[in-house]
Amino acid sequence: MRVVVPFSASEPKTRLAPVLTADERRQFARVMLDDVLCALVEVGVEPELLATAPVDLDRDVSVTVDERPLDPAVDDVLAETDGPVAVVMADLALATPAALDRLLDADGDVVLAPGRGGGTNAVVARHPDFRVDYHGASIRDHRAIADRIGADVTEIDAYRLGTDVDEPGDLAEVLLHGEGRSGEWLRAAGFELVVEDGRTTVERA
């Protein structure tokens, strides 16, 4: 199976701007990416990075630079590949080898890992006509696309794949449940958990 990880290399994670500088956002995005790649390697696959700009990695991973938006870049991968393709987002800082193994082993013409808020955090496409649409409530659109081409769909209900890190509030999940370097990076940057009125948030020292 071909496994592709899209990555915005130039201005990643803009919604974290209230708590991280532009340089910190780039650093943190790279650490999350490394966590995802490491987990995929542990599963036994060879992930490919689909980046919007050149990226130097600490590991031997194939990198394809495609400056286009996410949809056409991923669709070209799907169109040119004879066989199943998995697309795993680079900000799944909670992803573990076990969670990813469950995704890749799931049966179905199309396997979807829904994200919070209606997104799609991972896809396995075995149907040759499946294409993506990551705009808006993409999980709903991907269900509709699969239905339109007559593909059966399996959805993975997994907390670790359903949690993508986009907003400041998501950082608490990384500190609470992350098993990779992302949580370590946040702690080194001064973030800590704070419990107020029964809710866990983060503060920066």
Helix (H, G, I), strand (E, B) or coil at 197: coil
- Rounded to whole angstroms, the Cα distance separating 114 from 121 reads 6
H or E stretch covering 191: strand 191-196
pTM of the model: 0.96
Choose among 165, 169, 196, 197: nearest CA to 178: 165
Q: Is 189 helix (H, G, I), strand (E, B) or coil?
A: coil
Letter for the amino acid at 126?
R
Q: Each residue's pLDDT tens digit in the chain (205 positions)?
A: 999 999 999 889 999 999 999 999 999 999 999 999 999 999 999 999 999 999 988 788 999 999 999 999 999 999 999 999 999 999 999 999 999 999 999 999 999 999 988 999 999 999 999 999 998 899 999 999 999 999 999 999 999 999 999 999 999 999 999 999 999 999 999 999 999 888 899 999 8
Residue 117 to residue 103: CA distance in whole angstroms: 20
Angle between helices 97-105 and 22-43 (to 10 degrees): 60
